[in-house]
Structure 1
Amino acid sequence: MECVAAIDVGGTTMKGGLVARDGTILYAERRPTPRAEGAEQVIAAISAFTGDLSRPRGRMRPVAVGLAVPGLVTPTHAVFSAAFGWRDVPVSAFTDVDLPVALGHDVRAAGEAELVYGAGGGRDVLFLPIGTGIAGAVVLNGSPYGGAGGWAGQIGHIPVRPDGLPCGCGQRGCLAAYASAGAIAARCGEPSAEHVLRRMRQGDQAAAAVWREAVEALALALATYTLLLDPAEIVIGGGLSQAGDALLEPVRARLAERLAFRPAPDVRASRLGVQAGLLGAALLGWGGVAHGGLRRREGARRGCP
């Protein structure tokens, strides 16, 4: 059976798998992202993962690789990622396999998967995965929008509190410093946002205060986005979406209050959940099959700061 090897590279975890053309995940595997070890080690880990996934497994025969990574991305290069500290990494550095390889932006790819397979069926949609960080996939008039330089959707760096908490990007008061799953966990000294939610449900006031601040920051950023681009719906994905109504209900309420003179867009959870990025990477891979993709032997230069 023909399939593509797909990898969604996150700040904490790499999700990989073999995916059929109809979106069926035939095989799935997770590996840690060695972010603390530096850009070269992350690239090496991606290369090893792609190599392992690209080998035939029983009747499954990969015909291409789809790779979704964060930061500024072109079809030929991972131009920049603050999360991993790399610059101008060619697609050829990520794999040694002799298959078509398609590289794309992780959140934009996940947003396209939502359009194809999931909840985002509208023509004007914001897909917002919230995990280690926050970024958005902007869909305008039915098409993904990257902006003039490919930076559209960096919602995690909208300042929600001028001179607030420091953010990894170098600014202060960014949405991601308050509402990302990573920030929520760190502010409570917990390993994950899930632990914070558990404490809040048990009546812990400190955890509840951090959660309220996250909701308030998220509602403010979404109100700003709504007033600028008027989406029909906002689809929340990523690990934090697993909180369900504990997140969605207060965000809907505060967003409606901040949009006093107009109705708020629908806010809903991703139907694809944490698999959106993997399926987005698979769509990149199938697109590479259709258009020839790029191949390992087209270059082997690596670029890291």
Structure 2
Amino acid sequence: MAKFIQRYSPMPWISLREGKDFPQKEPPGLSPFEEISIGGAFIVARDNEGRGYVWGNNHRGQCGTGDYGYRSKPTIAESLLDKYIVKVAAGYQHSLFLTSEGEVFGTGRAGNYAFGSISLQATTYKACSKKLQQVEVKNIIDISAGQNHTLFLNEDGLVLAVGKNEYGQCGQVSTKKYIVNPIDVFLPEKATMIACGTKHSLVLGESGKLYAFGCKFNGQIDGFRGGIDEEQSSPLVVEIPSDSKILKIYAGFDRSAVLMENGEVWTWGGIDYRYLDGEFFEKMTLLNNLLPKQAKEDVIDVSLGYMHTLVMTSA
């Protein structure tokens, strides 16, 4: 009843739950975005009022609008207007929204269980959901989406994974090609941070140790490129050649990176496309050495592209 009143009241700014104002459907103008996540030709975003948006390709229902029509501009997630969105994530063809109550809602391609076993709203080859549906997880504080898998971090420091697992990117033996429902990832300690690449996963433990699992063919697990093994089904401790503490972790495409407390950025992995002048690292590389001298110790954030890296500095 409280949610009904909050959503349809002529005074929707009045909060009825936990001191948070439910977002209004029609803000006076597009509010500033606080977070964006880029998927396969579509974008998921969250504004500073707790509203979620999606736009771009929608042929798999990744915009959650109930159809497959392309969206050329930010489209509000209307079905979540009675929720306060605190985190968004985009996979290759699926979108995820995390609410302030620890709930997760997803839409898009689901035939590979990228965000769990849900009731498919299309019986065609699309095998997708056209509308946002709740994922069977609770008390979640962080989410991250890979190409066809998703990681969840709950308030107890437990990591859960679901989706395609052909390389062990869900932390399970690779003979389990799909993880149908979110399952615990065995770790020797509680986790504090998660990150998904295309087909690999990173987890930061509360001790400061970094764990990685999934596809390792392009050096994205621990910087080692070569050998005959392409998979790492169980979490592997990754040794960072630094005395500093890990501050943030990053995974994107077939690449990984960490930002240390002392400002160091270590990165590794990537498909070897030297003939295209593509960026990749055959071993762990201190990215600061490639930056202008004045920016070497002022890095505050990193983003990993397919064959390039963006670095944000405080200057």
* Bucket of the pairwise TM-score, normalised by the shorter protein: under 0.3
* TM-score for both structures, normalised by structure 1: 0.27
Which structure has more helix as a fraction of its residues?
Answer: 1
Say which structure, 1 or 2, has more relative contact order (CA 8 Å, 6+ apart).
Answer: 1
* TM-score for both structures, normalised by structure 2: 0.27
